[in-house]
Amino acid sequence: VPVQTVSEQSVISQSDFITFHIPFNEGEKSPVDAAMISRMKKGVGLVNCSRGGVISEADLLAALQSGQVAFAGLDVFEKEPPVNMEILQHPHVSLSPHVGGSTKEAQNRISIELAEKVIEFFKNA
C-alpha cells in the first residue's frame, strides 16, 4: 500500500487509532484537548508516545467515560509522579514505563554528555 499524505483533520476524523509523537513544553496548552477529541471517530484508541501534557488528562477521562475514546495508552502524565488516580485506574487505560532513554543509542549519548560535563567541570576548577 503506498504511503499517502493527508491533512491533520483527515487523520483526526478517520483514524481508528492515533499515536502522538510530538514535541511539547511544560506550560503550553495541551494540543489534544476536548475540542480535538470531539472531532475524532467515536471509539478511537489514543496512545501518547510524547510528553506528559500532550493529552489533557481531564479531557481524556471525560472522553473515556462517554465512549468517545475507547482506549488510551500512556507512559507519561501531566504531573509526574502521576496524581490523577482516575486515569491510572481506568479499565480502558494501559500504562507502561517511559523507557525512551533506555535504548543503546540514548545511553551512548548520555555517557558522552556526562563525560563532557566532567571534563568541563575539571577545566573550570
**Annotated catalytic residue: which of 39, 98, 109, 113?**
98
**Annotated catalytic residue: which of 8, 21, 26, 80?**
80
51 is catalytic: yes
92 is catalytic: no
Spatial distance between the Cα atoms of 4 and 101, rounded to a whole number of angstroms: 31
Q: Which residue has the cell 493527508?
A: 6
Task: Please list the residues that pair with 48 across neighbouring strands.
Answer: 20, 74
**Annotated catalytic residue: which of 51, 57, 78, 90?**
51
Task: Please list the residues that pair with 72 across neighbouring strands.
Answer: 46, 93
Contacting residues for 50 by C-beta, under 8 A, at least 6 apart: 20, 21, 22, 23, 24, 76
80 is catalytic: yes
Active site residues: 51, 80, 98
